Structure 1
Amino acid sequence: MASDTTAQETVAGRGAAAAVQGTVAEGFEGVREELAAVVAAEPHDPGVQLVAYVHGRQVVDLWAGEGMTGEALTAGYSLTKGMAHLVVALLVQDGVLALDREVAHYWPEFAAEGKGAITLRELLSHRAGVIGVLGGFRPEELADDRLLAQRLAGIRPFWEPGAGFGYHALVIGALTGEVVRRATGRSIQELYEERVRAPHGLDFYLGLPEDRISRYVDILPSLPTPEQSAALAAAAPGPESLTGIAFNRNATPPTDLLELGNDRRVHALGPASVGGVGNARGLAAAYAAAIGELNGRARLLTPATVAEFSRRHSAGTDLVTGEENHFGLGFEALGVTHPFLGEDAFGHSGATGSQAFADPRSGVAYAYLRRRFAFPPGGGSPENSLLGAAVVRAAG
């Protein structure tokens, strides 16, 4: 535990409720100062946690905001994808899964409607075109990966597989999870618990236990100005666009991400795309364990596995989001968007603006979790560049 310096920064303008609390190791005081500045700049209390490790040693453990503590649990959204795909990486490393084998080899029903040639590598790099279904999913389907997989097996891809890439926002974990289930007879959630979470005592869950529910704090909405709301609404893609389909806005009613994140059914089942619940301590420790020894346990992933899963497989304009994206295999390839990181840095962002990653070059594992949606919503919010760079700089 980092304990050399106690952070009790009171942020000007918001009083004790917004104090940055927690601990940093000697030399990491600048990280606390950056976080205090980020919180002070927010017009509404963001509710944040920031944790970092360097070569397996925790050096930052900070939090701020009303109702937030270092132990508080909240919805991880797409941070979940990173945890789920640690399992896939382990299975590839073990030789149980082969990246260039067709998905249908493991899951024969997936071959329907021209999907027979799609490989696991293409699926993991968001190139399969299997982003949703016409008419959308029901809420109970979004909570249950097996129901999602059943619906998705029979659909026609929304673009020619391999010809482009687009973010499989709500379904990638169900798709890769079904491959895992068919190959091992176990769910991705079970294997995550057995091989990743339990051995390291991680406070991030794919299926929140009942005895942890009391520690959950609700995700809060962004609070844009009327002008910001109007501009966002005017620019929003239609429900039948690729964006609308991928984010289930074509359902009746359309999926509301705030409701999805706080849904107890989702928490209980832990769908592997968006259903994880936990805190920054759990996420940072998971990435620390992925790239190095942690608490006397050997690293989870070999350097060769990290190199393969972090390598850019999809880069350019995302067909779903219309933005510049960079995907490895199941993870975001972060060395491009975060130049302070090495080329083999990997991790994933979350819808509220959260971000978690591992950077083998510096030995840094980082997790920043937001309780309130940033504005505009979606992906890691800009302050991650400031906070992440401060950690890497302090790590030397």
Structure 2
Amino acid sequence: MSSGIVVSGSVAAGFEEVRAEFAAVLAELPDEPGAQLAVYREGRRVVDLWAGDQVTGDTLTPVYSATKGAAHLVMALLVQDGALDLNRTVAHYWPEFAAHGKGELTLRELLAHRSGAIGVDGGFTRAELADDRLSAERLAGHRPFWKPGTAYGYHAFVIGALTGEVVRRATGRSIQEVYEEHVRAPYDLDMYLGLPAEAQVRTLDMLPMAPTPAQRARMSANAPDRFGRTGVAFNLNAEQPTDLVEFANSREVRALGPASSGGVGNARGLAGMYAAAIAESVGRPALLKPETITEFARVHWRGTDLVTDEHDHFALGFEALGVRYPFLGADAFGHSGAAGSLAFAAPHSGIAYGYARRRFAYPGGAAPENTRLMRAVMRAANG
């Protein structure tokens, strides 16, 4: 992006540094990716910024695994309300899941990515990945890729299908329906698990990564084994390995909103969702009680992720962001997305953060610029 980047939007008094940092980091990015940043403090929006070709504050884009935060906010609510019990086995709710030695796995262990059910031999078709019920059915009857409960690894494309099937069996409704009724609609959030037709006009396609020659060489050297755990988790073992850009730009995927990776939203919607989770918002009390936040935000089992090699990666359904970014506080919870998006709540400071960008960031996952932006936000919040 050229140094002539135009940043639009507004910030509250005391958050001027965040606007300057947003402009600075985008000026260093090539190929005009387009990006949005929104921040709430104690339920009030204090940062609302955007920049880039065709991008406004209302623009929607696929947010990939940031979708998992929406899905698992639903899980936290259902546990809080007593509809689900973390210490029950998954098979208690979903008997078919017990096949191939998965019968003793608890819901707590599933949410911590400990099931081993990260994919299937031969991979999924795009239609199966788009429809959580189809992928859940295949996973139930399939062997796990490690002994359930003994280790953890990122269930990249399937955790929302697995937890979503538990929700469907326990409540008779899909995780998408519960999210719409109890989270998105009441707070009028621009974060969708199932994009309505009328919102399509505001949605931009994702753009592929534009790596430098050196970055391309590193990507080639570090390409995962298609048939190893990482390849299985990211559906690279399929006859037609999943292309993330094509997947997210599919109308079918957007319309069905698979709960692991098919959400569509913007920075306002992402931040607003976490603001509603931890603070009074639009005249409504916080969705989550402090004890629920404590339970879902803490790391339950420590170790190295068998899929990503990250250490102490997960709390329950959410990434344990306080481990990766200690300056956010130990209770920070949220989720990143493959193209570079990141959204979280930092309850101790009352901060809810949402960042989305249109072009894939190198090397994938939360875009590197998030660290600078988050530090600026926390400095402003603590100032």
Mapping of 1:113-262 within 5 angstroms? 113-262=100-249
Q: Does 1:75 align with 2:83?
A: no
Taking the aligned partners of 1:321 and 1:168, their CA distance within structure 2 comes to: 10
Taking the aligned partners of 2:111 and 2:86, their CA distance within structure 1 comes to: 9
Does the 8 Å CA contact 1:170/1:274 hold for their aligned counterparts?
yes
Taking the aligned partners of 1:365 and 1:231, their CA distance within structure 2 comes to: 34
Q: Does 1:348 align with 2:318?
A: no
Taking the aligned partners of 2:286 and 2:48, their CA distance within structure 1 comes to: 22
Alpha-carbon distance change, 382 to 226 in structure 1, aligned in 2, over 3 angstroms: closer
Tell me the residue number matched to 2:87. Answer: 100
Alpha-carbon distance change, 63 to 166 in structure 1, aligned in 2, over 3 angstroms: same
Residue identity matched to 1:180 = V
Taking the aligned partners of 1:325 and 1:25, their CA distance within structure 2 comes to: 35
Taking the aligned partners of 2:329 and 2:212, their CA distance within structure 1 comes to: 37
Tell me the residue number matched to 1:392. Answer: 378
Does the 8 Å CA contact 1:314/1:326 hold for their aligned counterparts?
no
Taking the aligned partners of 1:263 and 1:77, their CA distance within structure 2 comes to: 12
Taking the aligned partners of 1:340 and 1:385, their CA distance within structure 2 comes to: 10
Tell me the residue number matched to 1:381. Answer: 367
Residue identity matched to 1:155 = H
Q: Give secondary structure in 1 for the equivalent of 2:277.
A: helix
Does the 8 Å CA contact 1:126/1:314 hold for their aligned counterparts?
no
Residue identity matched to 2:133 = R
CA RMSD of aligned residues (A): 1.0
Taking the aligned partners of 2:220 and 2:74, their CA distance within structure 1 comes to: 38
Match of 1:362 among 349, 352, 355: 349
Tell me the residue number matched to 1:267. Answer: 254
Taking the aligned partners of 2:363 and 2:33, their CA distance within structure 1 comes to: 13
Q: Give secondary structure in 1 for the equivalent of 2:246.
A: helix
Does the 8 Å CA contact 1:332/1:346 hold for their aligned counterparts?
yes
Residue identity matched to 2:288 = L
Match of 2:313 among 323, 326, 338: 326
Q: Does 1:44 align with 2:48?
A: no
Taking the aligned partners of 1:79 and 1:194, their CA distance within structure 2 comes to: 19
Residue identity matched to 1:95 = G
Q: Give secondary structure in 1 for the equivalent of 2:231.
A: helix
Deviates more, 1:344-353 or 1:316-325: 316-325
Alpha-carbon distance change, 44 to 325 in structure 1, aligned in 2, over 3 angstroms: farther
Tell me the residue number matched to 1:336. Answer: 323
Mapping of 1:270-285 within 5 angstroms? 270-285=257-272
* Structure 1: stretches of 5+ with no match in the other structure: 1-10
Residue identity matched to 2:39 = A
**Higher strand fraction (1 or 2):** 1
Using the TM superposition, give the Cα deviation of residue 44 of structure 1 relative to its aligned residue in structure 2, in angstroms.
2.1
Residue by residue over 1:47-68, the C-alpha shift from the partner in whole angstroms, topping out at 9 and shown as x without a partner, is: 1100000001100000011111
Taking the aligned partners of 1:248 and 1:324, their CA distance within structure 2 comes to: 22
Q: Does 1:84 align with 2:71?
A: yes
Does the 8 Å CA contact 1:49/1:280 hold for their aligned counterparts?
yes
Residue by residue over 1:321-380, the C-alpha shift from the partner in whole angstroms, topping out at 9 and shown as x without a partner, is: 123342110001111111211211100000011100001100000001111100112x21
Tell me the residue number matched to 2:42. Answer: 55
Does the 8 Å CA contact 2:299/2:312 hold for their aligned counterparts?
no
Taking the aligned partners of 1:304 and 1:357, their CA distance within structure 2 comes to: 18
Residue identity matched to 1:33 = A
Using the TM superposition, give the Cα deviation of residue 258 of structure 1 relative to its aligned residue in structure 2, in angstroms.
0.7
